[in-house]
Amino acid sequence: MAVDKFPVEGSHIMMFARSIADDNQIYYDADYAKSTEAGGVIAPPTFAQSSAQFDPTYFLRPQIGEDWFGSGKEATSIKKKESSGGGGGGGGGLHAEQHFEYHRHIGPGDVLTAEVKPGKTWEKEGKRSGKLVFSETITEYRDQNGELAITARGVGVRTERPVDQ
Amino acid sequence: MALSASNLKAGDTYTECLVDDLSRTQIVMYAGASGDYNPVHTDEKFTKEMAGYPSVFAHGMLTMGMTGRMLTNYVGDGRLTKYGVRFTSQVWPGDTLNSTATVVDVTDGIVNLSVETTNQDGAVVLSGYAAARVD
């Protein structure tokens, strides 16, 4: 997802750390964090993925005033012909791989941009879900000085049918 | 606390329990923090009736995030230089996950690790690698 402005904030890091059940005080307590080698609060290793919060049209977040494909009265609020349907993830596909390369560790005060470049696409026959279509994206997170902070490579997969359990 | 190269050798392992009986609420917390509101993670009705799965399931990135917690507890804060994974099986509410990092080698101040997270049935749900600076 392309993001023009991803301000890294302490409260967001705190909520993210709670969500992965990480009680490391470097994510919560600026005074403690100052005394560590990192010298201040830093973000957990996978935090960059939450740049989705700053993508104004992120497709996996309900948009104000628009139909959402999750359930309300019905199992989905999107009429059938408009449904993005298909794919075992129910609209979004599934996440197959994620890779991060850290050029430096980000923390509160950093304001990042995220530039997305398309990568390879390939297909494979899956035993449990039919034909699999993989697509790769490379995301470069740069800081307020234009320096590369994190390079992320994600691979998504669309399955022909839900994965057999 | 960072690792010391002189104390590391290939085959060393570090293991943590990432979660015992994963709750739907934790999955909701991850959705809220990360901004990934795909209903397959939080919306049972949609997931059963539209997506065709028996229940909601965790974001791969929740498993990767918790596995990252194991890694930073092992290698220290701000020490990772690389971390990558493949999601090999879905993670469901009620799952208990354990994660292990294994030293592959130590060269030029960097430890290379292989990483694996398994569920209560021994199925691998995530496999990958990490690299970290060591003293």
Are A42 and B78 a contacting pair at CB < 8 A?
Answer: yes
> Which pLDDT score is estimated for A163?
84
Domain count, chain A: 1
Confidence band of A1 (pLDDT split at 50, 70, 90): low
CB neighbour list of residue B98: distance below 8 Å, 6 or more residues apart: B15, B16, B17, B18, B117, B118
A46 touches chain B (CB under 8 A): yes
Confidence band of A74 (pLDDT split at 50, 70, 90): very high
- Sheet with B124-133: strands ordered across: A3-7, A111-126, A130-142, A148-159, A94-102, B80-87, B124-133, B110-118, B97-107, B13-19
Q: Is residue A135 a part of any domain in this protein?
A: yes
In SS3 terms, A40-58 reads as CCCCCCCHHHHHHHHCCCC
Average pLDDT over residues A43-69: 95
List the single best residue of B77, B112, B126 to mutate versus A (max A Cβ within 10 A): B77
Domain count, chain B: 1
Tokens matching residue B18: 């990432």
d(CA B5, CA A25): 25
User: Which residues of chain B from 33 to 72 reach within 8 Å of chain A, CB to CB?
Assistant: 33-40, 43, 45-54, 59-62, 64-66, 68-69, 71-72
> Which pLDDT score is estimated for A87?
46
A28 touches chain B (CB under 8 A): no
pTM of the model: 0.95
> Which pLDDT score is estimated for A92?
55
Average pLDDT over residues A108-126: 95
Which residue range is the domain that position B92 belongs to? Answer: 5-133
Interface predicted TM-score (ipTM): 0.97
In angstroms, the separation between the Cα of residue A119 and the nearest Cα of chain B is: 16
d(CA A77, CA B105): 52
- Residue B12 belongs to domain with CATH number: 3.10.129.10
| pLDDT at residue A89 tops 60 | no
Average pLDDT over residues A41-45: 98
Average pLDDT over residues A135-156: 97
pLDDT, tens digit (0-9, with 9 covering 90-100), for A12-22: 999 999 999 99
Using a pLDDT cut of 70, give the percent of chain A over it: 92
- Residue A133 belongs to domain with CATH number: 3.10.129.10
Q: Is residue A48 a part of any domain in this protein?
A: yes
